[in-house]
Structure 1
Amino acid sequence: MPRVLIADDEDSMRMLVARAIAMDGHATVTAEDGAEALEILSREQGAFDLLLTDIQMPVMDGIALALTAARDFPDLTILLMTGFADQRERAYGLNAIVHDVVTKPFSVADIRAAVGAALATRKTV
């Protein structure tokens, strides 16, 4: 069962995404911001198949989280989410480390498809 770490500062979005991808049998762990997600990744030694993170968050944003996670856990697949066009542009140069950027708002079917596609192409050790 794939393990997915979800980082989003909005409670409702974090819970919606967790419930949506759990429908496909994925185990989920959630974090309220990038710093908490990085702490979870470090504590669990990167034992996740996918990091799904919002870009705009307090404390540590999703891009800083993605850069750090990619450096420390190079086999981790990363998927970003954002509702802001300018944030999507910030992620433009990260193609080498980020699988895709999902634009909010999205449907349950959209996020399930994006997660499924990201997991299907993940690096295997």
Structure 2
Amino acid sequence: MARILIAEDDTGIRLLVSRALRQEGHEVMVAEDGEMAIDVLAEEAGAFDLVLSDIRMPGITGIELAHAIHATFPGLPILLMTGYAEQKEAAEELSAIVVGVVEKPFTLADIRRRVAAALPAPEPLRRYA
């Protein structure tokens, strides 16, 4: 399964989403804000299949985080979350560097589906003769 970094300042949402994705078999790491997410990405040399980030966070916002990730790890998919319409519109302007925006509130089924859709397709198995 995938290795996912979640950046979310709301403890309840962070725990709920990380638990839901772990139940799907994903390896999940969490960051409480954008600055911590940047630190984790640096420590792990960007070795994630997806970053799932809230847009509205103290310090570095999810939009600023997306720009920082794209500058350092341009192939790393980024999926944003927000409960604010104006932030969703701002994030849509980032369509070249984010794979989508999930609107809050969402159900566990919604977030699982959106994460699955955002993940890169698995490499096909090679058959040897």
Structure-1-length-normalised TM-score: 0.94
1:121: how far off?
4.9
2:12 is equivalent to residue 9 of structure 1? no
What is the correspondence of 1:1-125 to structure 2 with a 5 Å cutoff? Answer: 1-121=1-121
Q: CA deviation at 1:116?
A: 0.3
Answer whether contact 2:21 2:112 (CA < 8 A) is retained. yes
Structure 1, unpaired ranges of 5+: none
Alpha-carbon distance between aligned partners in 1 of 2:51 and 2:120, rounded to the nearest angstrom: 14
Moved over 3 A (4+): none
How far residue 102 of structure 1 moved from its aligned partner, in angstroms, is 0.1
Structure number with greater CO (CA < 8 Å, separation at least 6) is: 1
Letter in 1 for 2:108: V
Letter in 2 for 1:107: T
RMSD across aligned positions (CA):
1.1
Rounded to whole Å, the distance in 1 between the matches of 2:68 and 2:47 is 15
C-alpha distance in structure 2 between counterparts of 1:108 and 1:74, whole Å: 28
Cα shift readout 1:56-75 (whole Å, capped 9, x = no counterpart) = 00010000000110110012
1:61 is matched by which residue type in structure 2?
T
Distance 1:29 1:37 in 2: 9
Distance 1:75 1:92 in 2: 18
Query: 2-side partners of 1:96 and 1:23: how far apart?
Result: 30
Say which is worse superposed, 108-117 or 85-94, in terms of deviation: 85-94
2:92–2:100 contact (8 Å) kept in structure 1: no
TM (norm. structure 2) is 0.91
Deviation at 1:3, TM superposition (A): 0.5
Gaps in structure 2 of 5+ consecutive residues: 123-129
Q: CA deviation at 1:50?
A: 0.3
Shift in Å, 1:43: 1.0
